[in-house]
Structure 1
Amino acid sequence: MQRIKTIMHEFFGTPLVAVREFAQMLLGCMIIGIAIFTFYTQANLQVGGFSGLSLVICRLLHTDVSVGQISIILNIPVLVAIGFFISHKMLVRTLIGMLTLGYALDAAHYVSTYISAWLFPNGVEASEYILVAIFGGALFGLGCGLVVRSGYASGGSDNVAFLLRLIFKSLKFSVIIWLFDAAVILSGAYFNDGAESASGIIMYSIVALLTDVKVLDLVLSGYSYKRVVYIISKKNKEIADNIMFKMNRGVTGLKAVGGYSQEEAEVLLAVLDSKQVPRLKEVILAIDDKAFVFVMDSREVIGEGFIKTYF
């Protein structure tokens, strides 16, 4: 019994963490399904990955087997390869994520019939295709981001790319995914009998894919934009005191060496909210108008005074 508890803790963490991560993964899978059947299929757009490939197979075979079941079948050889080449922990979490996505797709298909009837009572008009592509892609990216951040994997192109990287080490991970998704989108457009224009499907599907990637990046990397400020001055002590005690922000001194003079110097590093940067510039110029300052964007900051946890 203790051995089982140890394994469960190794794979899923504490019970509270396990429930939270599974709930997040389940929500992400449902959002993916709703995005596909509410937006993509209504406008005959093509989604990438194994979900999109499952839709293509459904259209080709005209089978009674559901999209979710086909997705599970496609993932079986990928799961075997993961268990053999990578790790059992990833295998277990991918298996759970894959099965959840498969059944979530079927459940979302049912729910989406009502959502689609409410959003598009007369079908998707030609003028609405761009909005459908953007909103569908955003919703799909949100769902994928929630699944990835939960620590689970839903199978599909991500795992295929990971496995192919073991063979073709020179290929970038993102390149493999883009090639796989592009192939699925092209094949989906070619075999989509209900579409008026294959070129139209490809263009709108690419818009949806680009939106999907952008939202996925926001979900994974965060959207708490901050500014990272580097300051080089001969009055660092006075500037640092003003940042700490008047602006209530931390500051760090970094040792540096001048490239030309070879003299040792100190570079101040501070992370601030965007609205604090103009005030900081005023403070620095008032102390040392010859200070060298440059500001960089930071997508997300975690730590004291900023975000401490993801969710």
Structure 2
Amino acid sequence: MEEQAALNNEVKPKIGQNRTTSFYVKKYAMIFVGAVIAAFGLEEFLIPNNVIDGGIVGVSIMMETITGMSMGVFLVLLNIPFLFMGYKQIGKNFAIATLVAICFLAVWSEIFDPLEKVTDDPFLAAIFGGIIDGIGVGMIIRAGGSLDGTEIVAIIMDKKSVFSVGEVVMFINLFILSSAGLLYGWDKAMYSLVAYFVISKMIDVVIKGLDESYAVMIVTNEHEEITSALNDRLGRGVTLLHGAGGYTGESKEVLYCVVTRLEVDKLKEIVLDKDENAFVTINAVHDIVGGRFKKKSIH
């Protein structure tokens, strides 16, 4: 028995170590691939047509135009103070992942720079370059990194001001895109705004996925019937939470489950069919880890 216990103690750390190694391999492989994709979108579509992205990437593109130096140099240099801020305010893992992503992007930008651009049409460049760049940036963000120091500023300001992260990022990028108008002309600034919009939407698609999921909370007195119907007709597991009315003190049962976008209407139909007085809240879910959440047939 003592030998078996010693063997178990030796095996457990190895299992944990393997999991940790596997996690970081996947994480930085995704960052690497994301940086390659983002660099291709920038160098083969956006930059040759004087269409820029927002944030530090956009500033770096403009600095390359003004000085003739490589965008990658400015990308690294301009992000250094923001990396320090991110390390102090957000965490070491985020700062390291961001530094790695920036270095990968800088290197691959140099590799793609000599290649001939894909299109001379700035509108096509804004659309397709935005799609490709957005996919790459979205992969990096999903892996826990970033390419843009302005996002770090926005996160910090969100904690210390009344402005949200999105509002701060939008304000900074409007200033950057306006500067692009002075440098490249206002038509290119408008194309850049189109590209920025496409990039932001593609980032959302990569982070959230095409088939969004929703967390649903149902306050009802018919919890048994609704639970049974959701299990039977949607194939969804339901978690039962015990609660009480804040005003009346009456006991209430709260059901919690996660469904796909296509199942939301069916869920509402099931719930209201069983209890027309049920109170239902539905919130988008950005990610799901663990559990047995899979697509089921609806009937």
TM-score tier by shorter-chain length is 0.7 to 0.9
The two structures, once aligned, show a CA RMSD in angstroms of 3.4
- Which residue of 2 is the match for residue 195 of structure 1? none
How much has 1:25 moved relative to structure 2?
0.8
Letter in 2 for 1:179: F
Residue range with higher mean Cα deviation, 34-43 or 271-280: 271-280
- Which residue of 2 is the match for residue 75 of structure 1? 79
Q: Distance in 2 between matches of 1:229 and 1:50?
A: 38
Q: Distance in 2 between matches of 1:285 and 1:175?
A: 38
Uncovered stretches (5+) of structure 2, i.e. residues with no partner: 1-15, 295-299
TM-score by length of 1: 0.73
Q: Distance in 2 between matches of 1:130 and 1:93?
A: 32
* Structure 1 residues 254 and 137: alpha-carbon distance in aligned structure 2, compared to 1, 3 A threshold: same
Contact 1:223 1:300 in 2 (8 A): no
How much has 1:229 moved relative to structure 2?
4.7
Work out whether 1:181 is the aligned partner of 2:173: yes
Contact 1:231 1:291 in 2 (8 A): no
Q: Distance in 2 between matches of 1:293 and 1:173?
A: 31
Identity %: 26
How much has 1:17 moved relative to structure 2?
2.4
Residue range with higher mean Cα deviation, 93-102 or 266-275: 266-275
Letter in 2 for 1:212: I
Q: Distance in 1 between matches of 2:154 and 2:266?
A: 46
Look up the SS of the partner of 2:236 in the other structure. coil
* 1:1-311 matched pairs, under 5 angstroms: 14-61=20-67, 63=68, 65-82=69-86, 88-111=92-115, 113=116, 116=117, 119-120=118-119, 123-124=120-121, 129-154=122-147, 156-162=149-155, 169-192=161-184, 198-245=185-232, 247-258=234-245, 263-276=250-263, 280=267, 287=274, 290-292=276-278, 294=280, 296=282, 298-300=284-286, 302=288, 303-306=290-293
Look up the SS of the partner of 1:45 in the other structure. coil
Uncovered stretches (5+) of structure 1, i.e. residues with no partner: 1-8, 193-197
Q: Distance in 2 between matches of 1:283 and 1:295?
A: 14
How much has 1:272 moved relative to structure 2?
3.0
Letter in 2 for 1:140: D
* Structure 1 residues 108 and 278: alpha-carbon distance in aligned structure 2, compared to 1, 3 A threshold: same
How much has 1:293 moved relative to structure 2?
5.8
Q: Distance in 2 between matches of 1:76 and 1:231?
A: 47
Look up the SS of the partner of 1:223 in the other structure. coil
Q: Distance in 2 between matches of 1:268 and 1:172?
A: 31
* Structure 1 residues 292 and 83: alpha-carbon distance in aligned structure 2, compared to 1, 3 A threshold: closer
* Structure 1 residues 66 and 233: alpha-carbon distance in aligned structure 2, compared to 1, 3 A threshold: closer
How much has 1:49 moved relative to structure 2?
1.8
Residue range with higher mean Cα deviation, 19-28 or 80-89: 80-89
Contact 2:208 2:287 in 1 (8 A): no
